[in-house]
């Protein structure tokens, strides 16, 4: 039995803390599902997991949005944060910690963190002049802006001119330490294209950045000067630390340090790379805290080939999507169809075709027809056959024997689409094999032993596929497992802890002792309704 002991390998990962100016969009769902898949896979492997997500609730963007709706910022944040929690539940997201940056424990951690950086002499007051994009909550270089001082990311928003006295963080002091970090840990920033982007940015010379704002109430006061508030990004990044506290811990950095640091992985979209790959490690260096191991910047989603945006009126509502098609369908499409580091597209026809082909036909039908044959030809029991007696070059066993290792490698490299392809290749080989072997004919010819072996090898291949796909499609996988006689629900963390990876990720586990369940479709075919 694998249990969480002191020697158990730890895996701490985060999604960005999402702005609560609006309900979650498909981009936030995309990162959060990716993190959930990785967390689930690490749990399958017996690791002790801390999966952090949450909401970024301070700053001008939130304050202005709340004001425009005639709401107090806190009431507005409460409502939207609840919307995130509700969507994560619908999508079967199993986070371990949900951090809201307006929580009082977070205020204590931010204060202590600020003090550490202050004590290093890394904070000073100076004049800040420049163009500020409120939607990005970031100063922009004039040369980055489009005509009319519009932001290149939020093209319908104009950056605002600011000229104020702010507190600055001495980022420039960390230039060489950061360069050393990127050199000594080449996989700190992934994928490679993002790493090059960061190296290029850093090589131009790092500038100190302001970490306070004046004339803004919605934020924590600067401890040494309460007329100023802490810049929302400084506050939010520290949220990753607050999230690591146990619920009953005193909120201090010593407790943060005691268990989960360093964080193994920050999953983010490519637009917030600089904050995570440059500012954040420098802040941690200044505060004398362990640097995270890896930052992975994924691509952007488009819809029907076009950039998604409110101004274009083509946003994709994740709530509508999951309500219409269910969590597994949404989870599968984005990770089977899109290479994680690259941009990818949502198209509803493609969505339906992929799900029907892979989950309803290739996987679901194969299970259903095989179980029905088992009922007819083997009295509904697991076919009487030992995997040891099947030669290693058997077409399904040959794939199955190395699949677990291959797929583990794919998940660890965040190559979700490759994991799906590898698993589906076993399923497709199962379909081909059963058609070629025609157990119905073998049965008529009285070749019972052959029939049992064909059906066993197909069922075992489906089992392995279901297990390895369970981080992506936990509901379909649970149904398959239950029909194969296991009482495992992949949504129950407590059951995962006692399910040894070494035997389940290996071809040949199914045994005659298992009592097969009733064949029922595991994935209903989808129909194209009016496009979302
Ligand atoms: N609050 C900051 C993060 C602070 S982390 C300490 C923030 N929030 S956000 O809500 O605006 O963005 C969250 C994530 O959504 C980002 O990783 C961003 O890349 C991602 N996406 C926004 N639009 C997206 C797509 N169209 N496609 C994929 N992801 C996109 O930034």
CATH number for the domain harbouring residue 17: 3.40.50.620
412 preceded by a cis bond (ω within 30 of 0): no
77 is in an annotated binding site: no
- The residue whose CA has the least distance to atom 10 of ligand 1 is 18
330 touches 87 (CB < 8 A): no
Give per-residue burial for 157-170: e unless 16+ CB within 10 Å, then b. eebeebeeebbbbb
523: closest CA among 303, 360, 341, 319?
A: 360
Q: Does 136 appear as a known binding residue? A: yes
Per-residue exposure over 108-118, b if at least 16 CB sit within 10 Å of its own CB, e if not = bbbbbbbebbb
Tell me if 333 is assigned to some domain. no
Report how far residue 503's alpha carbon sits from residue 511's, in angstroms, rounded to the nearest whole number.
12
Domain boundary among 268, 298, 328: 298
Distance CA 334, CA 340 (A): 9
266 shares a domain with 381:
no
The protein residue with its alpha carbon nearest to ligand 1, atom 6, reads 237
In a domain, 71, yes or no: yes
d(CA 485, CA 493): 19
Residues 48 and 135 in one domain: yes
CATH number assigned to the domain comprising residue 412: 1.10.730.10
Atom of ligand 1 nearest to the CA of 299: 28
List ligand 1's pocket residues with C-beta within 6 A: 16-19, 27-28, 30-31, 56, 236-237, 239, 268-269, 271-272, 300-301, 308
In whole angstroms, what is the distance from residue 397 CA to residue 410 CA?
A: 20
- Separation of CA 61 and ligand 1 centre (Å): 14
User: Is 173 in the same domain as 294?
Assistant: yes
Positive or negative, the CA dihedral 78, 84, 90, 93 is negative
Atom of ligand 1 nearest to the CA of 21: 10
Give a yes or no: residue 243 inside a domain: yes
Do 293 and 353 reside in the same domain of the chain? no
Q: In whole angstroms, what is the distance from residue 106 CA to residue 243 CA?
A: 8
From the number of C-beta atoms within 10 Å of its C-beta (0-12, 13-18, 19+), residue 219 rates as buried
Answer yes or no: do 165 and 53 share one domain.
Answer: yes
Q: Which residue has a Cα nearest atom 22 of ligand 1? A: 27
**Residue to substitute in 13, 15, 18 for testing ligand 1 pocket (most ligand atoms within 8 angstroms of CB):** 18
Say how many Å lie between the CA of residue 236 and the centre of ligand 1: 13
In the sheet where 123-133 sits, what is the strand order? 138-140, 123-133, 160-169, 209-210
- Ligand 1 pocket mutation, candidates 16, 101, 234, criterion most atoms within 8 A of CB: 16
Distance 16 CA to ligand 1 centre (A): 7
Is 75 a domain residue?
yes
526 domain residue, yes or no: no
**For residues 38-54, b (16+ Cβ closer than 10 Å) or e, as one string?**
bbbbbbbbbbbbbbbbb
Q: Are residues 163 and 43 in the same domain?
A: yes
What is the 29 CA–ligand 1 centroid distance (Å)? 10
Nearest CA to 51 out of 88, 6, 8, 2 is that of 88
Count CA atoms closer than 13 A to 47's CA, side-chain side.
18
Phi/psi for 490 (5° steps) reads -70, -5
Q: 492: CA distance to ligand 1 center in Å? A: 29
pLDDT per residue of the chain (532 residues) written in tens, 0 to 9: 334 444 689 999 999 999 999 999 999 999 999 999 999 999 999 999 999 999 999 999 999 999 999 999 999 999 999 999 999 999 999 999 999 999 999 999 999 999 999 999 999 999 989 999 998 888 988 888 999 999 988 888 899 999 999 999 999 999 999 999 999 999 999 999 999 999 999 999 999 999 999 988 999 999 999 999 999 999 999 999 999 999 999 999 999 999 999 999 999 999 999 999 999 999 999 999 999 999 999 999 998 888 776 666 778 899 999 999 999 999 999 999 999 999 999 999 999 999 999 999 999 999 999 999 999 999 888 888 888 889 999 999 999 999 999 999 999 999 999 999 999 999 999 999 999 999 999 999 999 999 999 999 999 999 999 999 999 999 999 999 999 999 999 999 999 988 899 999 999 999 887 789 899 999 999 988 766 6
Residue entry with tokens 């500012």: 279
Distance 327 CA to ligand 1 centre (A): 21
Q: Which residues contact 506 (CB under 8 A, 6 or more apart)?
A: 401, 404, 464
Domain for residue 249, yes or no?
A: yes
Q: Give the DSSP H/E element, type plus range, for residue 48.
A: strand 48-56
Is 133 inside a domain boundary? yes
Total domain count, the chain: 2
CA of 269 to the centre of ligand 1 (A): 6
Which structural domain range is residue 267 located in?
A: 10-298
Spatial contact of 340 and 432, defined as CB atoms under 8 Å apart:
no
Residues 261 and 366 in one domain: no
Q: What sections of 220-271 are H helices per DSSP? A: 232-242, 253-257
Residue 334 domain-assigned (yes or no): no
Q: Which of 20, 21, 24, 28 to mutate to test the pocket of ligand 1 (most atoms within 8 A of CB)?
A: 28
């Amino acid at each position: 039995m694998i249990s969480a002991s002191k020697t158990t390998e730890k895996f701490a990962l985060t999604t960005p803390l999402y702005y609560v100016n609006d309900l979650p969009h498909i981009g936030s769902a995309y990162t959060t599902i990716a993190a959930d898949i990785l967390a689930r896979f690490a749990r399958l492997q017996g690791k002790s997991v801390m999966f952090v997500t949450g909401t970024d609730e301070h700053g001008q963007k939130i304050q202005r949005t709340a004001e425009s709706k005639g709401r107090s910022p806190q009431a507005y944040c409460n409502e939207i944060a609840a919307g995130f929690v509700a969507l994560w539940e619908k999508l079967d997201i199993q986070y371990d910690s949900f951090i809201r940056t307006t929580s009082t424990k977070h205020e204590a951690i931010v204060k202590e963190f600020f003090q550490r950086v202050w004590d290093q002499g890394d904070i000073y007051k100076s004049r800040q002049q420049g163009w500020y994009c409120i939607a990005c909550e970031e100063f922009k270089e004039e040369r980055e802006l489009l005509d009319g001082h519009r932001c290149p990311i939020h093209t319908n928003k104009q950056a605002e001119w600011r000229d104020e006295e702010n507190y600055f963080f001495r980022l420039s002091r960390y230039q060489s330490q950061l360069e050393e970090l990127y050199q000594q840990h080449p996989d700190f920033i992934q994928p490679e294209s993002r790493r090059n982007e960061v190296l290029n940015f850093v090589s131009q010379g790092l500038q100190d950045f302001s970490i306070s704002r004046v004339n803004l109430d919605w934020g924590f006061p600067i401890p040494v000067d309460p007329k100023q508030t802490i810049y929302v990004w400084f506050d939010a990044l520290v949220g990753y630390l607050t999230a690591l506290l146990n619920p009953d811990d005193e909120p201090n950095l010593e407790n943060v340090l005691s268990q989960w640091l360093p964080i193994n992985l920050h999953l983010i979209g490519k637009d917030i790379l600089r904050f995570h790959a440059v500012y954040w490690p420098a802040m941690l260096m200044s505060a004398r805290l362990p640097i995270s191991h890896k930052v992975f910047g994924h691509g952007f989603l488009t819809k029907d080939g076009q950039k998604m945006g409110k101004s274009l009126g083509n946003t994709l509502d994740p709530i509508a999507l999951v309500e219409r098609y269910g969590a597994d369908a949404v989870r599968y499409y984005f990770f089977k169809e899109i290479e994680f580091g690259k941009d990818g597209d949502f198209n509803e026809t493609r969505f339906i075709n992929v799900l029907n082909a892979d989950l309803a036909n290739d996987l679901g039908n194969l299970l259903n027809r095989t179980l029905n044959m088992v009922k007819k030809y083997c009295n509904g029991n697991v076919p009487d056959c030992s995997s040891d007696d099947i030669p290693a070059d058997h077409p399904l066993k040959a794939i199955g024997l190395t699949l677990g290792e291959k797929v583990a490698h794919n998940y660890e490299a965040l190559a979700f689409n490759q994991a799906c392809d590898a698993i589906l290749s076993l399923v497709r080989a199962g379909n081909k094999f059963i058609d070629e072997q025609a157990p119905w004919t073998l049965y008529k010819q009285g070749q019972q032993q052959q029939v049992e072996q064909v059906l066993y090898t197909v069922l075992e291949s489906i089992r392995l596929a279901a297990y390895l796909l369970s981080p992506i499609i936990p509901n379909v996988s649970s149904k398959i497992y239950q029909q194969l006689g296991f009482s495992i629900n992949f949504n129950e963390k407590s059951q995962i802890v006692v399910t040894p990876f070494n035997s389940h990720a290996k071809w040949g586990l199914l045994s005659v002792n298992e009592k097969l369940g009733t064949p029922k479709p595991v994935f209903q075919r989808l129909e194209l309704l009016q496009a979302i």
